[in-house]
Each structure stands twice: as structure tokens, then as C-alpha cells.
Amino acid sequence: MNLESLAQEISESILDTPEKRAAFQRRFLRKGGVLDGLFAELPYLPPEVRKERGKVLNALRQAAQRRLEEAERTAPSPVEPSPRRYADPTFPHVIYASGGRHPLSIVERRIIRLFQRMGYSLAEGPEIEDEWHNFSALNFEPDHPARDMQDTFFIEPEKGILLRTHTSTVQIRVMEKQKPPLRILAPGRVYRHETISARSHVYFHQVEGLCVEEDLSAADLKATLTYFLKGLFGESIRLRWRASYFPFTEMSAEVDVSCLICGGEGCSVCKQSGWVEVLGCGMVDPNVLSACGIDPQKYRGFAFGLGVERLTQLLYNIPDIRLFSQNDIRFLKSFQTYAPLL
């Protein structure tokens, strides 16, 4: 058989269909094909001819293999016929409505945007914590009532493993790893053993902030929170500052805003007082800075914490905190048109 004609046939074969490629493979590359027959004749040839003929046959087999691989690589993918669909004109038309953001997500995003304008960055931490980060590092005494099982969900009491009761734990973890100046915001879910009512739940969402720099004062704290609250509720909102106590701050204060639900006339949310507490704050206690390895003689800090549910209730006139976790589609649909305003 003329080997030159075989080489020409290999290079000029049209392999544009699966059937043609299969026939090409049987002829040149499979057992019983033309090249396989020529290889079987090699032992009967003179030694000087056998070696040269073997080189040529190997080259032809390699050329055929390359030709087939190239044809398969460039061949278009087979198009599977689409299954035939039948429309039933009597079937009711279904309107698929787009989803909406949860009201807590909307408000949390607005809070974050306001503080980001003031140079705060986001920080995260675990929801399952230890007593050191949740209590001890925050200056809670060993016999503090908040450590009791009535206020805290302990997972492993003997090891001090619990569900965090506030996102202040994130502030401790950041101060342990980073050095001042610091401006962080820690949003997240927290857990407390409380009676479920229109005002409280066993889990809720907090956003806590921390600023640690040189020469900070309570005036900086007040200016920061006033800017935030007026940016969230509007310039006309009335604020009330009250002295308070937190183990991890000294001085400590709570901030109330005039109730937007009842207009200050009194309702279940404001306990008929016309005011609603929205956050707690204060100057970071020097003991907390020292516990995290920060020199309290050089640096001062302020911290604040606010509940996302409480702010959302005021902004959207929601009388019952339990609505946020009931997954009532009627309630959630009412927020489909809302979007972050900042």
C-alpha cells in the first residue's frame, strides 16, 4: 500500500460529523485498521527495510491521532432539542413578586453608613464566647448579676462558654490584636434570657462602637452620637441624656429620644413616658484598656451600644418587637419598596 497516499488521506479527511470521525478512527487507529495491518507485516520485511518502514508507520499513526483530536476539539457542541412545552390557557396566571429586605437589615445598613461617614470600620466576632471576653475583660465583677443564668445562656457553664450578651466582646478582641487609634463598629446578634414581650426578646441585634485615641473627651462622644441620631431620625428629634452605670465605662450615660410612635403622648413602647431609650454609652474604663494591653495614661476611649430593633420600631412605627421574628409574610411584604436612604 502506498504510504504517501495514506498520509494524504489522513491530512485531507473531512471530519465534520461524529460519524465521519468514528469511521476515521476505525480505519487508522483501531485494531484491524489499515495501519494495524501494515504494522503486522513488519516482522516479515528485511531488517534494513523494517526499521525505516516502522518509523514511517509510527509517524502516520501520530498524525492520525493529532488529526482526530483537532477535529474533536473544534467540532461544535451538539445541541439537544428542547423539550416541547405546551401552554395551558386555562391555568391561572402566576405573578412572581421580587423579594424585599428585612426591616432590620434596612436600618442596620443606615446605621453603618452614618458611622462610616465618620471614619468607622466594621469588625466581627463569634456569637459563642467565653466569660473572659464577655464579662471579665469588660470589668464585670465575678459576682455581677449579669453573669447569672437568669440573664445569660450558658452552653458549658463549667467551662464558661456562653452565647454573647452584647457585641462589646468584639471590641475586646479588636483591642487585643490592634493598637490605637481605633474606630470600629461591631454589628451582630446577641442573646439574653429575658421575657418575650412587645419590648424585649431572647435574641436581638446590636451595633456597638468604639473609638480609642489620644485626648478624647466626653464632648467628642456627645458630638458623635448627636450627629448620628439626628442623621437617623432627622434634625427635629429631641434628645435626652441621663447618667447611668455600666461596668466597662466611666462616666456612663443613656440617651433617650422622643417617641415617634405616639408623638410623646405615651404608648406601650415608651411605657407611657413619651421617651424611648435608644443607646447606652460612656468613656471606656481604664481597667478595660489595661486588660487589652493599651496604656490608659496615653489613650482614652469612648464606647456606645444601640439596639437595632428599638430604632427600627421608632423609624417605621412598629409597636411590637415580636413582629421581626415571626416571619409573617404580610408584615415583610410591607417593606419591599423600602431601600437604604443613605
Spell out the SS3 assignment of the chain. CCHHHHHHHHHHCCCCCHHHHHHHHHHHCCCCCHHHHHHHHHHHCCHHHHHHHHHHHHHHHHHHHHHHHHHHHHCCCCCCCCCCCCCCCCCCCCCCCCCCCCHHHHHHHHHHHHHHHCCCEECCCCCEEEHHHHCHHHCCCCCCHHHCCCCCCEEEHHHCEEECCCCHHHHHHHHHHCCCCEEEEEEEEEECCCCCCCCCCCEEEEEEEEEEECCCCHHHHHHHHHHHHHHHHCCCCCEEEEECCECCEEEEEEEEEECCCCCCCCCCCCCCCCEEEEEEEEEECHHHHHHCCCCCCCCEEEEEEEEHHHHHHHHHCCCCHHHHHCCCHHHHHCCCCCCCCC
Indicate if 57 and 109 belong to the same structural domain.
Answer: no
Measured between alpha carbons, how far is 139 from 118 in angstroms, rounded to an integer? Answer: 28
Q: In 3D, which of 211, 234, 180 has the Cα closest to residue 115?
A: 211
> Has residue 107 been placed in a domain?
yes
What pLDDT sits at residue 98? Answer: 66
Could you give the angle at which helices 308-316 and 218-233 cross, rounded to 10 degrees? 40
> Has residue 90 been placed in a domain?
no
Indicate if 63 and 154 belong to the same structural domain.
Answer: no
Tell me if 224 sits within 8 A of 213, measured CB to CB.
Answer: no
Q: How many residues does the chain have?
A: 342
- Identify the band that residue 298 occupies on the pLDDT scale cut at 50, 70 and 90: very high
Please give the model's pTM, rounded to 2 decimal places.
Answer: 0.66
Residue scoring higher pLDDT (78 or 6): 6
Indicate if 41 and 167 belong to the same structural domain.
Answer: no
Indicate if 43 and 173 belong to the same structural domain.
Answer: no
Indicate if 179 and 132 belong to the same structural domain.
Answer: yes
Q: In 3D, which of 25, 24, 28 has the Cα closest to residue 14?
A: 24
Residue 279 CA neighbour count, 13 Å, CB half? 21
302: domain CATH number is: 3.30.930.10
> Has residue 221 been placed in a domain?
yes
Measured between alpha carbons, how far is 203 from 125 in angstroms, rounded to an integer? Answer: 16
What pLDDT sits at residue 1? Answer: 58
| pLDDT of 204 strictly over 60 | yes
> Has residue 87 been placed in a domain?
no
pLDDT digits (tens, 9 = 90+) for 222-275: 999 999 999 999 898 899 999 999 989 999 999 999 887 777 777 776 777 888
Indicate if 70 and 133 belong to the same structural domain.
Answer: no
C-alpha grid cell, residue 131: 466569660
> Has residue 253 been placed in a domain?
yes
> Has residue 243 been placed in a domain?
yes
Indicate if 254 and 314 belong to the same structural domain.
Answer: yes
- Identify the band that residue 338 occupies on the pLDDT scale cut at 50, 70 and 90: low
What pLDDT sits at residue 341? Answer: 47
Indicate if 226 and 290 belong to the same structural domain.
Answer: yes
Domain of residue 21 covers 3-74
> Has residue 93 been placed in a domain?
no
As for how many domains the chain has, the answer is 2
Residue 89 makes CB contacts below 8 A (sequence gap 6+) with: none
Indicate if 258 and 319 belong to the same structural domain.
Answer: yes
Indicate if 148 and 30 belong to the same structural domain.
Answer: no
Measured between alpha carbons, how far is 135 from 133 in angstroms, rounded to an integer? Answer: 6
Indicate if 69 and 109 belong to the same structural domain.
Answer: no
Indicate if 175 and 307 belong to the same structural domain.
Answer: yes
